Amino acid sequence: MDDLQTPHAALLAALRAGLPADAVLTDPDVTASYAHDMASFCTAGTPAAVVLPRTVEQVQHVMRTATEHRVPVVPQGARTGLSGGANASEGCVVLSLVKMDRILEIDPVDRVAVVEPGVVNAVLSRAVAEHGLYYPPDPSSWESCTIGGNIGTASGGLCCVKYGVTAEYVLGLDVVL
């Protein structure tokens, strides 16, 4: 069954109207791989689509479209979590933020980094180290987990005992509702 014959045809057409062609995934084998995080023992539904936006405007389009079609949205980072928090609900839109992976600014004087949610923890850690700074949150998946996912799951790692969890390093968020 192609996308035009699915119960989600109108949703998919609306998503595609505001996103690049490669940003909307509907192949069942591909979308199944986005259905759950590393906690595969938790239940997960089948997403109607997986979207991979690269800009805030594209995220806004996804959220407006999902709201208009009354479809739930499940945001995801790298899906390395062990909580099931990134698991798809039946018929949802999975909003994968891994393509929003830019470090926008590192200010060594104020000790502030501005990053997109798909920045990998290890990439940020190495980037700030070049400025003589240290980013302590170190979840066990720090080489592949994303900052947005770390924020969403309150991750910390072993260093959190001494330095605190991710939330203690977040000064502000730009959020699309």
Residues 17, 84 share a domain = yes
- The predicted model scores a pTM of 0.91
Residues 107, 89 share a domain = no
- Looking at per-residue confidence, does 157 or 10 come out higher? 10
pLDDT at res. 40: 73
Which CATH number does the domain housing residue 51 bear? Answer: 3.30.43.10
Backbone torsions φ then ψ of 41, nearest 5 degrees: -80, -15
Which CATH number does the domain housing residue 115 bear? Answer: 3.30.465.10
- Over residues 6-35, mean pLDDT: 95
Residues 41, 125 share a domain = no
Q: 151 is in which domain, residue-wise?
A: 103-169
Report how far residue 110's alpha carbon sits from residue 61's, in angstroms, rounded to the nearest whole number: 33
- Over residues 23-28, mean pLDDT: 97
- Looking at per-residue confidence, does 7 or 131 come out higher? 131
pLDDT at res. 47: 97
Residue 59 domain flag: yes
Compute the chain's Rg from CA coordinates.
17
Residues 92, 68 share a domain = yes
Residue 175 domain flag: no
Continuous segment of H or E residues that includes residue 58: helix 56-68
First to last CA, the chain: 32
pLDDT at res. 1: 47
Residues 140, 82 share a domain = no
Residues 74, 8 share a domain = yes
Residue 174 domain flag: no
pLDDT at res. 5: 57
Continuous segment of H or E residues that includes residue 29: helix 28-33
pLDDT digits over 87-128, tens only?
999 999 999 999 999 999 999 999 999 999 999 999 999 999
Sign of the Cα pseudo-torsion (155, 127, 57, 27, in order): negative
Residues 147, 80 share a domain = no
Report how far residue 26's alpha carbon sits from residue 28's, in angstroms, rounded to the nearest whole number: 6
Residue 176 domain flag: no
- Over residues 165-170, mean pLDDT: 91
pLDDT at res. 4: 53
pLDDT digits over 130-162, tens only?
999 999 998 889 999 999 999 998 888 888 888
Tell me, rounded to whole angstroms, the distance of Cα 106 from its chain centroid.
21
Residues 153, 109 share a domain = yes
Number of domains, the chain = 2
Residue 120 domain flag: yes
Residues 163, 107 share a domain = yes
Residue 143 domain flag: yes
Residues 109, 76 share a domain = no
How confident is the prediction for the chain on average, in pLDDT? 93
pLDDT at res. 154: 86
